[in-house]
Amino acid sequence: MVNKEFTPWYFQPEIAKVYESFYEGKYKDADIQEKNLLKFLIDQIDDVNEILEVGCGTGHFTRWLNSLGYNVVGADISPVMLGVAKELWTDGKFVNAKAEFLPFKDKSFDVVLYVACLEYMPDLVKVFQEAERVARKGIVMGLMNKWSLPTIRRIIQVKLGKNPYYCNARFYSLLTIKRKLRQALEGKNYEFLDWRCAVFPRVFRVRGLLKIPFGGSFLGFGVKFK
């Protein structure tokens, strides 16, 4: 049965207002590791200058990319998340748009980037086809790794009705992402980037960007076009 009352958290102004505070709290260290992984991936693509960050939310990573010297545009489906993004970076370029239908001409950016948002996009093949249309050089993504304890915990919480943030989310593994990319890019000339996982639980006593497909809660992957 469809719940007509359901409004995803990212359309709720009171949640959008406090969203950035998560990065200052317990996710501060994870944030550093996630940025290291995203930079590691972007650096595998030659001469990246212009980046479109799809699902940019409050612009946390958009501002970071700007601070690294990239020309960046943020796009997001949620006007309330973008409202905060514009307050935090008044000169930033932000566009209200859906990942599946981007309002940009073909090959407008070097790279299309996604951070922690593919989970909310049910039709990944359509999303990646749209990224391929607007990107000249490649696609980069960081997402919650399905094969990790924090994600498994979230799946259980959702099943118990205890986590409203992920009740409309899907969690992907490296294998699923590869399959979706192959489907989306069929007939195109591309190669996969060198993937890594980051943000391993402390009990694992490992840190950094590791080529282990399970354990790390943040999976970084992408493609570059030939």
Ligand X SMILES: C[S@@+](CC[C@H](N)C(=O)[O-])C[C@H]1O[C@@H](n2cnc3c(N)ncnc32)[C@H](O)[C@@H]1O
Is residue 60 a contact point for ligand X (CB under 6 A)? yes
- 35, 38, 73, 76: which one binds ligand X (CB under 6 A): 76
Task: Select from 71-79, 185-193, 195-203, 205-213 the region that touches ligand X (CB under 6 A).
Answer: 71-79
CB atoms inside a 10 Å sphere around CB 213: 17
CB contact burial 127-147 (16+ within 10 A = b; e otherwise):
bbbbbbebbbbbbbbbbbbbb
Task: Select from 43-51, 75-83, 152-160, 212-220 the region that touches ligand X (CB under 6 A).
Answer: 75-83
Q: How far does CA 116 lie from the centroid of its chain?
A: 4
List the beta bridge partners of residue 99.
none
**Three-state SS at 163:** coil
- Residue 41 tokens, joined: 């991936």
Residue number, 96 or 204, with CB nearest to ligand X = 96
Rounded to 5°, angle at Cα 155 from 35 and 36: 10
- 41, 115, 181, 197: which one binds ligand X (CB under 6 A): 115
- 52, 65, 117, 185: which one binds ligand X (CB under 6 A): 117
Is residue 73 a contact point for ligand X (CB under 6 A)? no
Footprint on this chain of ligand X (rule: CB under 6 A): 10, 54-57, 60-61, 76-78, 81, 98-100, 115-117, 120-121
